[in-house]
């Protein structure tokens, strides 16, 4: 008897997009070449999530989806942020495996075949880890290295320090990720928290193909805060440990003053310097501790409101009904 060929597996490539009209044509072309090379083994679909772009990004996505049935688009009602756009894609995209990649082409689509190969070996999570990061300032590289080292030591997640949002997740891992519904999301940390069998693929990160970065310093700081606060209690623990460390020398000084007064009848009246130092030090620390507590309380408030992480404005693509109506399932040929 002739052996029947095993059915093709379905793979969905998801890409958040925000004001990327300059780079989208290059992104479409390179992703299409990768899919063409693997068309005999996989059914592919690409879903671009327009995160409230103000340029022609949505128009380009819509036009390309008419030319190539493999491409579809989701347009959010406003700019909810990169992590919210990724969450939308994970919630809606079908497929046996999902590959998330940014549309700026700093993460090369040509790495996807190797990621699929690691997935075929039985890994539910395949992380793309940056070996080199070209086109980025020394300050960004230095601060990123410190941050990833801190998050790996302080949090309960397990993720390589040089990994970003370029990854492959098996359907099992995607369904597990969808159960984590917190509002302030740091997905690379949540993926590390999931566990599952994992593999790593190294690559060299390229400079942007076109356009400018959509993650300036303040957005990076906000994302870093989301990661630290949502994945770790260490900021609170560090606060009371610091309070104890600051309190100890002043308690010893208070004991010293009490002993001098009680046994030697000496009152240390000229102590304004130490007094002012204590007031300033503890006052500043109290404000810092209130700020840290405020970060946690603010996130509790956001979770209690239970607002949706994103809102979809419209869809595009010839297979859009199967995309939006089937959060998990097979892709059409």
Most confident of 55-59, 200-204, 305-309, 321-325: 55-59
pLDDT at 119 over 50: yes
Q: Residue 284 has what pLDDT?
A: 65
Q: Is 9 strand, coil or helix? A: strand
43 by Cβ neighbours in 10 Å (0-12 / 13-18 / 19+) ranks as: buried
Report H helices in 24-154.
Answer: 24-37, 57-67, 82-92, 112-120, 138-154
pLDDT at 304 over 70: yes
- Distance of CA 265 to CAs 38, 224, 259, Å? 89, 54, 9
Query: What digits encode the pLDDT tens for the residues 71-106?
Result: 999 999 988 888 889 999 999 998 899 999 988 888
**C-alpha count within 13 angstroms, C-beta hemisphere, residue 102:** 23
- Of all residues in the chain, the percent with pLDDT exceeding 70 is 57
Q: Tell me which residue of 51, 66, 60 sits closest to 27, measured CA to CA.
A: 60
Q: Is 43 strand, coil or helix? A: strand
pLDDT at 231 over 70: no
Query: What digits encode the pLDDT tens for the residues 244-266?
Result: 666 666 666 666 666 666 666 55
Q: Residue 326 has what pLDDT?
A: 44
Whether the predicted model's global pTM rises above the 0.95 cut:
no
The angle formed by the CA atoms of residues 312, 316 and 322, to the nearest 5 degrees, is: 85
Q: Residue 224 has what pLDDT?
A: 60
- What span, in angstroms and rounded, lies between the C-alpha atoms of 291 and 263? 42
pLDDT at 166 over 60: yes
Q: Residue 331 has what pLDDT?
A: 42
Q: Residue 330 has what pLDDT?
A: 39
């Amino acid at each position: 008897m002739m052996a029947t060929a095993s059915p093709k597996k379905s793979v969905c490539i998801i890409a958040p997009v925000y004001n990327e009209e300059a780079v989208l044509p290059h992104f479409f072309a390179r992703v299409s070449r990768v899919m063409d090379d693997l068309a005999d083994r996989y059914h592919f679909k690409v879903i671009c999530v327009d995160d409230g772009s103000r340029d022609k990004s949505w128009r380009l996505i819509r036009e390309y989806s008419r030319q190539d049935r493999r491409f579809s688009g989701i347009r959010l009602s406003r700019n909810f942020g990169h992590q919210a756009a990724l969450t939308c894609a994970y919630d809606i995209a079908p497929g046996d495996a999902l590959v998330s990649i940014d549309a700026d082409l700093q993460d090369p689509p040509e790495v996807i075949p190797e990621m699929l190969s690691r997935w075929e070996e039985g890994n539910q999570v395949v992380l793309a880890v940056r070996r080199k990061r070209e086109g980025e300032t020394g300050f960004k590289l230095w601060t990123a290295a410190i941050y990833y080292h801190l998050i790996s030591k302080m949090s309960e997640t397990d993720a390589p320090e040089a990994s970003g949002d370029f990854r492959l997740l098996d359907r099992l891992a995607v369904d597990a990720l969808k159960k984590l519904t917190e509002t302030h999301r740091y997905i690379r940390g949540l993926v590390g928290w999931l566990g599952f069998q994992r593999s790593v693929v190294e690559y060299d990160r390229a400079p942007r193909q076109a356009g400018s970065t959509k993650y300036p310093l303040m957005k990076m700081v906000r994302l870093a805060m989301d990661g630290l606060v949502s994945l770790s209690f260490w900021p609170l623990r560090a606060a009371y440990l610091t309070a104890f460390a600051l309190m100890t020398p002043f308690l010893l000084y208070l004991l010293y003053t009490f002993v001098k007064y009680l046994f030697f009848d000496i009152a240390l009246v000229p102590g304004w310097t130490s007094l002012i130092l204590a007031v300033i030090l503890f006052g500043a620390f109290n404000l810092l501790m209130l700020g840290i507590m405020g970060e946690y309380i603010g996130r509790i408030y956001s979770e209690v409101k239970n607002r949706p992480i994103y809102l979809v404005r419209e869809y595009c693509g010839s297979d859009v009904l199967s995309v939006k109506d089937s959060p998990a399932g097979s892709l059409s040929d």
